[in-house]
Structure 1
Amino acid sequence: MIATSKASTVLLAFRKKWATVDVVARELVLRGTQFNTVKAVASRPQRTLEELRPLGNRLKGYKPSREDYDEYIRRRDELLRGPKGRAALMHGGIIARLARDAGIEPSVVLGGPVSGDRVVCEYGGKYLVDDQLTENDKNIISGVYFAQTDNSPDGQKLVEGATMELSWWPQDATWDIANCYLTTEWTDLAEVFFDKRKTILQKNELTIPNLTEWRQALRRSNTWTKKIEAGIEHYQSGYLDHFCKSVSRVPRS
């Protein structure tokens, strides 16, 4: 089964006349749309709390190297080749695009949940579950490090209040909060951003921005996108609700 919270995603499938679950899932992956493939279970899966971990810690004055970047790619691809790859493809946004960049094929989502450790919703007295993508998983996919700031005391330890986050790519939350790209699909504008960043990472002089720098970079994009998308979703949700109610009132012979 496929689950989505977006009316626009439901109507897209209807307009395109995608006839099977496999076709719907494959097409949504190719568009970078957020969705889930779910299965029903009787009991709620146990949720494991884990300590937030980055790719690694970096000291004051850290300069990224080609070896660091290559190690990031190795760890990212290693993670995505497992069940986390299918979860990343369905996550949408920058996370899904990085999964596609790692060569994860849309076909991996078609088999349904592997671990089933995330509750998507409840329906008919059952829990509909899918594979979970944790914050640590997303940290690896985006390439996040915890680093000392210029105000950090000398030494090898990271001190609370004097730590910043560096990442090869915008973190998932930063991407969403920036409100400059659609969440329903991966657009040409988002692809331009991705290509520019990838070109920079292929150069010898690597850069690894912190959270503030990523927010500033993303803020220069289209800040009206989120408002437009919210308006479209509002009207499409209303249409879908009206359609479902009208169908339920049709007499059955």
Structure 2
Amino acid sequence: MAKKTKSTPKTKQRGLFRRVMRRVMQFGAAVVVLFFAWILLYSVIPVPATPYMLAESMRRGESVDYRWTPIDQMSPHLARSAVAAEDANFCLHWGFDMDAIRDAISDGGSRGASTISQQTVKNTFLWHGRSWPRKALEALITPVVELTWSKKRILEVYLNIAEFDAGIFGAEAAARHYFGVGPEELTARQAGQLAAVLPAPKDRDAGKPGPFVRRRAAEVMDGAATIERDGRAACFED
């Protein structure tokens, strides 16, 4: 008759540890699958809201102004201006602009190097702030978005969820808020002024621009014309 192996406290502890780790791994895998499904879903449907919009609604005590508009119903000046202002090499990189990162490091980190792809990931799926966990998640998610979304889709989402003033999100709300027109009617100058406020929307005014915003808008207009001429707008223009 076979002799039964006697369970010891250590054996029971090891068994419990393995069961706990198995459950943790299963939970982690489920989170990854759900997050990937979320990314894929937003590649085809309008983004209903973002974590930052919800946080701003709570902070302000009222809903933010946000209406989704397809990029084909926006003035092409706006798309070019945003790319010229925020990420001139948008069509050339895979989510990270290594030249901009190297330049930022050489300048001691005094300027940002985030691409439109990275900003879209942050604004769509994550929270704002400079914490390392957020930056790590952004670095992990950005390549997935680049692989599963078109460049045109990335820019479309970016232009719809970017903040242009306190509580004003997206091209539709911004065009009407500042200029009283639809996003399809924006002129090159108006688009340049909107792009000029993107890094600091709560501190800059696109409708009544000061000297800095006027100067920056002129630079953006020149940059937008340049990327149209040299083909760096091809990835988001049909």
Which structure is larger by alpha-carbon Rg, 1 or 2?
2
TM more than 0.5: no
TM-score by length of 1: 0.23
Higher helix share: 2
TM-score by length of 2: 0.25
